[in-house]
């Protein structure tokens, strides 16, 4: 059996998002849903409710007074932010490492993912693009294919990680060992979970965005944020995978200037200090 077939079979075995997350996403896509409707569903999952409240009250959002109920959080944050939180909590479960003796640090990958999420949101704001919410969740999910490879091709993935230690970029190491890379796996999972086309595209093309695609702007935001996180040393470092010329081209697509990089790096590091609650999702005990 080909390695890609093993991955595809593993993806079929992975359950869909938890039932509570699926119910919430259905409600959030219904324009007639009220804050009370959402609160009733979230309160049925005490762990989810507790985590949502913890993040809502974290330094990342910086509200001056403590929010004590999920209903208050929904009203103050809005539906889009709550949807992002629910997806964040659900996705974080995949990053939790239960096996001992692993050479790959999945927690560091989660920190990198949070960094890219925060960075993509920051870049969207800087570029005055109305994509801040979409950019955050796309950044958070962009490397989900790496987690799947770590789960289902353990021996091969250990070989890949060893190659990255000799300074070979992750995506090139994957292609050398497997003949494909995590972007294809991410796309397969996104399609299996019925993610919207924007996320499917970002997961597939965040290493090589193209203006010929429908959601090129979000893919470009994630691409640039990924490189900013590399420079800032945030979490797992994938290695530089594209030329400086192409990186500058993507900056131009977003009407941003590479000269802004130092300012953006400073802002990213500041925001990451406030994103501790998101990072701790994979280490918190229920």
pLDDT digits (tens, 9 = 90+) for 165-221: 888 999 999 999 999 999 999 999 989 888 889 999 999 999 999 999 999 999 999
Which tokens belong to 8?
A: 């595809």
What's the topology of domain 3-282?
Hypothetical protein af1432 (1.10.3210)
Which tokens belong to 123?
A: 């870049």
Q: Where are the domains of the chain?
A: 3-282
Helix, strand, or coil (residue 280): helix
pTM for this entry: 0.90
pLDDT digits (tens, 9 = 90+) for 236-273: 988 887 899 999 999 999 999 989 999 999 999 999 99
Neighbours of 74 (CB within 10 A): 23
The mean of the pLDDT values for the chain is: 88
Report in angstroms the alpha-carbon separations of 126 from 55, 103, 120, 206, 264.
Answer: 24, 37, 10, 19, 9
Neighbours of 286 (CB within 10 A): 6
pLDDT digits (tens, 9 = 90+) for 42-88: 887 787 788 888 888 988 888 888 988 888 888 888 777 777 777 78
Neighbours of 270 (CB within 10 A): 12
């Amino acid at each position: 059996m080909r390695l890609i077939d093993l991955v595809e079979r593993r993806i079929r075995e992975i359950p869909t998002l938890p039932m509570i997350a699926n119910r919430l996403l259905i409600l959030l896509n219904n324009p007639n849903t009220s804050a009370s409707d959402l609160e009733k569903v979230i309160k049925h999952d005490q762990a989810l409710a507790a985590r949502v409240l913890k993040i809502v009250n974290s330094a990342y959002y910086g509200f001056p007074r403590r929010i004590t109920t999920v209903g208050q959080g929904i009203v103050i944050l809005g539906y889009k932010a709550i949807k992002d939180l629910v997806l964040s909590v659900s996705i974080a479960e995949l990053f939790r490492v239960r096996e001992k003796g692993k050479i790959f640090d999945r927690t560091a990958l989660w920190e990198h993912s949070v960094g890219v999420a925060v960075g993509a949101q920051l870049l969207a704001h800087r570029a005055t693009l109305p994509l801040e919410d979409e950019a955050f969740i796309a950044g958070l999910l962009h490397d989900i294919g790496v987690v799947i490879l770590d789960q289902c091709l353990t021996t091969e993935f250990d070989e890949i990680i060893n190659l990255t230690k000799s300074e070979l970029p992750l995506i090139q190491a994957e292609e050398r060992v497997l003949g494909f890379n995590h972007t294809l796996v991410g796309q397969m999972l996104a399609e299996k979970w019925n993610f919207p086309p924007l996320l499917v595209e970002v997961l597939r093309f965040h290493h090589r965005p193209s203006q010929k695609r429908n959601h090129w702007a979000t893919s470009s935001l994630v691409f640039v944020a990924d490189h900013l996180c590399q420079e800032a040393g945030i979490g797992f470092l994938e290695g530089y995978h594209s030329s400086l010329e192409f990186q500058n081209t993507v900056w131009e697509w977003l009407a941003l200037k590479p000269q802004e990089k130092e300012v953006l790096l400073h802002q990213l590091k500041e925001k990451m200090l406030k994103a501790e609650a998101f990072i701790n999702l994979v280490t918190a005990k229920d």
